[in-house]
């Protein structure tokens, strides 16, 4: 399957332009109208993909903000559980002990020695 990229797009546009200007040079198995329609459709798809990329970026940004907010709230709960467990609260000690291995992931985890 041929892939039309930005480098080849100019070739396609010029070829279709020549086919429209010089119909007597077009072989019978090439349909200029179809080529014209495809060039137009290809441009529309590109515009649509650019718009979708912008929407995707905005959604990813919103996801990061939401993730940050929930992490702040749940981290505060975790720290409260930790402080209360150190003060002797058994209910929160159980919660803290359950949450601790899940909190210490990624950057927060200690390397095994």
Give the per-residue pLDDT at 113: 44
Q: Decide if 1 is inside a domain.
A: no
Summarize the confidence of residues 29-49 as an average pLDDT: 95
Mean pLDDT of the chain: 92
What is the residue range of 51's domain?
A: 7-106
**Strands annotated E in the chain:** none
Summarize the confidence of residues 81-92 as an average pLDDT: 96
Which bin fits 79, alpha (ψ -120 to 50), beta or left (φ > 0)? alpha
Q: Decide if 95 is inside a domain.
A: yes
Q: Decide if 112 is inside a domain.
A: no
Alpha-carbon distances of 97 from 28, 76, 80, 94, rounded to whole Å: 77, 15, 13, 5
Question: 3 in helix, strand or coil?
Answer: coil
Give the per-residue pLDDT at 5: 85
pLDDT at 14 over 50: yes
Q: Decide if 46 is inside a domain.
A: yes
Between 7 and 59, name the one with better pLDDT.
59
Q: How many domains does the chain have?
A: 1
Give the per-residue pLDDT at 109: 61
Give the per-residue pLDDT at 107: 66
């Amino acid at each position: 399957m041929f892939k039309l990229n930005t480098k080849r797009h100019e070739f396609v546009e010029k070829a279709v332009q020549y086919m429209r200007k010089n119909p007597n040079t077009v072989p019978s198995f090439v349909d200029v109208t179809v080529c014209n329609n495809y060039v137009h459709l290809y441009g529309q798809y590109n515009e649509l993909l650019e718009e979708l990329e912008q929407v995707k970026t905005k959604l990813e940004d919103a996801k990061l903000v939401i993730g940050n907010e929930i992490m702040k709230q749940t981290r505060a709960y975790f720290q409260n559980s930790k402080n209360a467990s150190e003060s002797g609260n058994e209910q929160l000690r159980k919660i803290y002990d359950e949450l601790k291995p899940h909190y210490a992931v990624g950057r927060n985890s200690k390397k095994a020695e």
